[in-house]
Amino acid sequence: MQPNRPKFAVDEMLGTLARWLRIMGYDATYEKGRTDDEIVDGANADGRILLTRDKELSARMGERGSHVASDQLEEQLRQVWRDFNLRPDQDLTRCTICNGELEPMPVEEAKDKVPEGVFLLNQEFFRCRSCGKIYWHGTHWLNIKKRLADLDPNQSL
């Protein structure tokens, strides 16, 4: 993972954006079910940038708040990509479910934990240090990389 990457707190109106930030390798907490005060206090305590569709909540964070204008994921990604000069990691580094860090997993340990076809077609597996979810670079990974490349055609992934 690249050093000095921004960390984000993403409010519950932007859950899919939080997932995509994690796919890109960014530390992005999903602030579902928390009050505005809890979100602001937590984001400030952790040095996070708050991404929200709520203009007033964004204003409360000052320069550490970002109002995400669109309700369309592609536009949200473009805005955040541009505003924070994001560059995705080339590898899976964060769990899309819990935001935990991923670590390489010995192939033999994945054998009985993933579908047989997945095991036979993949040489590399990753496990979330927090929740244990297992990841691999399947066909979905090519689709993810294409979607990110479409956001910034000058970025090589």
- What is the mean predicted confidence (pLDDT) over 8-15? 96
Cα Rg of the chain (Å, integer)? 17
**Most distant CA pair in the chain: distance in Å?**
51
The CA distance from 21 to 154, in Å, is 19
State the CB neighbour count (10 A cutoff) for residue 48.
21
Residue type, 53: R
The CA distance from 128 to 96, in Å, is 9
State which CATH number among 2.70.50, 3.40.50, 1.10.3470, 3.90.1520 fits the domain covering 1-92+139-157: 3.40.50
The residues pairing with 94 across neighbouring beta strands, listed in sequence order, are 101
Determine if the pTM surpasses 0.75.
yes
- What is the mean predicted confidence (pLDDT) over 84-110? 90
Q: Which two tokens stand for residue 116?
A: 């047989």
Q: pLDDT band at residue 112, thresholds of 50, 70 and 90? A: very high
- For residue 37, pLDDT over 50 is answered with yes
Using CB atoms within 10 Å of the CB of residue 68, give its burial: 0 to 12 exposed, 13 to 18 middle, 19+ buried.
Answer: buried
The residue whose two tokens read 């590898």 is 91
Pick 87 or 74 by higher pLDDT.
74
pLDDT digits (tens, 9 = 90+) for 13-27: 999 999 999 999 999
Domain ranges of the chain: 1-92+139-157, 102-136
CA torsion, points 7, 17, 36, 29, in degrees to nearest 10?
-40
The residue whose two tokens read 């691999």 is 136
CA torsion, points 7, 99, 40, 31, in degrees to nearest 10?
140
- For residue 157, pLDDT over 60 is answered with no
Backbone angles phi, psi at 108, to 5 degrees: -60, -30
The CA distance from 47 to 53, in Å, is 19
